[in-house]
A and B are shown apart, each in its own frame.
Chain A
Amino acid sequence: MFAYVVRRVLATIPVMGLVALFVFSLLYLAPGDPAAVIAGDQATPQDVERIRASLGLDRPYLVRFGEWFFRILQGDLGLSIFTNLPVTTMIAQRIEPTLSLMILTLILAISIAVPMGVIAAWKQGTLIDRAVMGFAVLGFSVPVFVVGYVLAYIFALELDWLPVQGYTPFARGFVPWLQNLILPAIALGGVYIALIARITRATMLEVLQQDYIRTARAKGANQSSILFLHALKNAAVPIVTVIGIGIALLIGGAVVTESVFAIPGLGRLTVDAILRRDYPVIQGVVLLFSFVYVLVNLAIDLAYTLFDPRIRY
Chain B
Amino acid sequence: MDRRSLLTASAVLAAPRIASAQVAARTLRFVPQSNLASIDPVWSTAVIVRNHGLMIYDTLFGLDAALQPRHQMAAGHEVSSDGLTWTIGLREGLRFHDGAPVRSADCIASINRWSKRDVLGQRLGTLLDEMRAESDTRFTIRLKRPWAGLSWALGKPSANMCAIMPERVAQTDPFTQITDATGSGPYSFRRDLFRPGDVAVYERFAGYRSREEPSDFLAGAKPVHFDRVEWRVMPDPATASAALQNNEADWWETPLPDLLPVLRRHREIIVERVNAFGNLGVLRFNFLHPPFNNVAVRRALLPAIDQRAFMDAAIGTDTALSHVPAGCFTPGSPLANDEGLSVLTGPRSLDAAKAALAASGYRGERVAMMSASDLPVLQNLSEVAADMMRRIGFNVDFQAMDWGTQIQRRASRNGVDQGGWSAFCTTWEGLDVSVPGSHQPLRGNGANAWSGWPESPRLEALRDAWFEAPDIAAEQVIARQMQAIAWDEVPFIPLGQVLPPQAYRRSITGVVKGGPALFWGVRRA
CB distance from B332 to the nearest CB of A (A): 22
Task: Tell which of A47, A163, A260, A278 touches B236, judged by Cβ atoms closer than 8 Å.
Answer: A260
- Residue interface bits B194-223, CB-to-A below 8 A is 1, else 0: 011111000000000000000000000000
A42 x B438 contact (CB < 8 A): yes
**Which residues in B have their C-beta under 8 angstroms from that of A274?**
404
CB distance from B17 to the nearest CB of A (A): 13
A269 contacts partner chain B, Cβ-Cβ < 8 Å: yes
B242 x A152 contact (CB < 8 A): yes
B235 contacts partner chain A, Cβ-Cβ < 8 Å: yes
CB distance from A65 to the nearest CB of B (A): 20
CB distance from B501 to the nearest CB of A (A): 21
Instruction: Flag the segment in A77-85, A135-143, A295-303 that touches B.
Output: A77-85
Task: Tell which of A40, A41, A85, A164 touches B239, judged by Cβ atoms closer than 8 Å.
Answer: A164
**Which residues in B have their C-beta under 8 angstroms from that of A278?**
37
A157 x B245 contact (CB < 8 A): yes
Task: Tell which of A33, A50, A82, A90 touches B411, judged by Cβ atoms closer than 8 Å.
Answer: A33
B246 x A156 contact (CB < 8 A): yes
A54 x B176 contact (CB < 8 A): yes
B175 x A32 contact (CB < 8 A): no
Q: How many residues on the B side are at the interface (Cβ–Cβ under 8 A)?
A: 54
B248 x A166 contact (CB < 8 A): yes
- Residue interface bits A35-59, CB-to-B below 8 A is 1, else 0: 0111111111101101100100000
The winner among B45, B118, B447 for most chain A CB atoms within 10 A is B45
A308 contacts partner chain B, Cβ-Cβ < 8 Å: no
**Which residues in B have their C-beta under 8 angstroms from that of A269?**
197
Task: Tell which of B43, B46, B243 touches A164, judged by Cβ atoms closer than 8 Å.
Answer: B243
CB distance from A283 to the nearest CB of B (A): 16
Task: Tell which of A31, A43, A44 touches B405, judged by Cβ atoms closer than 8 Å.
Answer: A31
Chain A's closest residue to B118 (CB) is A42
Task: Tell which of A43, A262, A276 touches B233, judged by Cβ atoms closer than 8 Å.
Answer: A262
Given A37-B404, A165-B248, A275-B402, A268 contacting B243 (CB threshold 8 A):
no
Q: Which of B170-195 contact A (CB under 8 A)?
A: 173, 175-177, 179, 195
Task: Tell which of B45, B197, B240 touches A268, judged by Cβ atoms closer than 8 Å.
Answer: B197
Q: Which of A263-313 contact B (CB under 8 A)?
A: 264, 268-269, 271-272, 274-278
Please tell me the size bucket of the interface on A.
35 or more
**Which residues in B have their C-beta under 8 angstroms from that of A192?**
none
B interface: dominant SS: loop
B409 x A275 contact (CB < 8 A): no
B411 x A264 contact (CB < 8 A): no
A interface: dominant SS: helix
Complex Cα–Cα for A277 and B408 (A):
11
B37 x A83 contact (CB < 8 A): yes
Given A42-B159, A82-B37, A165 contacting B405 (CB threshold 8 A):
no
Complex Cα–Cα for A33 and B447 (A):
20
Task: Tell which of B118, B196, B236, B374 touches A83, judged by Cβ atoms closer than 8 Å.
Answer: B196
A41 x B450 contact (CB < 8 A): yes
A93 contacts partner chain B, Cβ-Cβ < 8 Å: yes
**Which residues in B have their C-beta under 8 angstroms from that of A83?**
37-39, 196
Chain B's closest residue to A42 (CB) is B119
A152 x B239 contact (CB < 8 A): yes
Complex Cα–Cα for A277 and B404 (A):
7
A41 x B440 contact (CB < 8 A): yes
B119 x A32 contact (CB < 8 A): no
Given A40-B44, A82-B37, A47 contacting B175 (CB threshold 8 A):
yes
A82 x B239 contact (CB < 8 A): no
A160 contacts partner chain B, Cβ-Cβ < 8 Å: yes
In the A-B complex, the 7 residue pairs with the closest CB atoms: A40-B45, A264-B198, A82-B37, A33-B408, A32-B404, A164-B242, A262-B234
Provide a sorted-by-A list of 11 A–B residue pairs whose CB atoms are within 8 angstroms: A31-B405, A31-B409, A32-B404, A33-B407, A38-B45, A42-B160, A54-B175, A54-B176, A262-B240, A268-B235, A272-B197
> Interface residues, chain A, CB within 8 Å of chain B?
31-33, 36-45, 47-48, 50-51, 54, 80, 82-85, 90, 93-94, 149, 152-153, 156-157, 160, 163-166, 259-262, 264, 268-269, 271-272, 274-278
> Interface residues, chain B, CB within 8 Å of chain A?
35, 37-39, 43-46, 117-119, 159-160, 173, 175-177, 179, 195-199, 232-236, 238-240, 242-243, 245-246, 248, 374, 401-405, 407-411, 428, 438, 440, 447-448, 450-451
